[in-house]
Chain A
């Protein structure tokens, strides 16, 4: 069965430091996509970055990059030079071809707090 695991319920990081948010996944489908979303305290869900299972390179989007280790089935989000505005919940999600619902499978989220 498809599954997403985020093992860090919460993290405190000093401003300007880099932070890695962990995500491991499980699927038997060779074709899948991995997503990271940010949910600030205001509540909206903001798409950050996407990694396809066949992508040869790790995805990057500004200060966000994805450390994709396919053999380990991990897709960790790296935020460089963290800012106070990065404080939020972060969700890892996956969609594969086996799910007829076209739905995203979600992790439980990591609450990131950036300290000044």
Chain B
């Protein structure tokens, strides 16, 4: 069974469109994250979500919004897509706020054309 799954794996879309990436974890973790990995492979936190508390990285444009219908899901909605949004987006989860490892989904490669 996949621990953290995100769909789709690839997403190609035009500028200005709105798109969503879904993420589900079956690990029973209480914290979920979205990361963005740019073309230089640098990982940047976008959001973390713990016990209904959303913490937003202030550098993330408000066109990006996470939606969590329940503890096992944290979807990412992106409005008015721009060329610069092209990247790989990773969903991850971890248990608690301690020093536990995060488990990652397989990533979604978003290409905006």
The A/B interface has a contact count, at CB < 8 Å, of 57
The answer to whether B31 touches A43, judged by C-beta atoms less than 8 angstroms apart, is no
| Contact in complex: A102, B31 (CB < 8 Å) | yes
Q: Is A80 an interface residue, CB under 8 A from the partner?
A: no
- Give B25 Cβ to nearest chain A Cβ, in Å: 14
Chain A: interface residue total (CB-CB under 8 A): 24
Q: Cβ of B42 and Cβ of A108 under 8 Å apart? A: yes
Q: Is the CB of B106 within 8 A of A101?
A: no
Residue in contact with B99 in the complex, picked from A33, A101, A103, CB distance below 8 Å: A33
Alpha-carbon gap, A31 to B99, bound state (A): 9
Name the residue among B31, B43, B55, B88 with the largest chain A CB count within 10 angstroms. B43
Majority-rule SS of B interface residues: strand
Given contacts A101-B48, A101-B55, contact A91 B43 (CB under 8 A): yes
CA distance A39 to B42 in the complex (A): 12
A47 engages B42 (CB within 8 Å)? no
CA distance A39 to B55 in the complex (A): 26
Contact digits for A94-108, partner B, Cβ 8 Å, 1 yes 0 no: 010000111110101
Interface check A68, CB cutoff 8 A: no
Assuming A101-B55, A101-B57, what are 7 further A-B pairs, CB within 8 angstroms?
Answer: A33-B100, A37-B104, A44-B104, A46-B104, A52-B99, A102-B33, A106-B44
A residues sitting closer than 8 Å to B (CB atoms) are: 31-33, 35, 37, 39, 43-47, 50, 52, 89, 91, 95, 100-104, 106, 108-109
Q: List 19 A-B contacts (CB under 8 A).
A: A33-B98, A43-B88, A43-B106, A43-B107, A44-B106, A45-B92, A46-B104, A47-B101, A47-B102, A47-B104, A50-B101, A52-B99, A101-B48, A101-B55, A103-B33, A104-B45, A104-B102, A108-B40, A108-B42
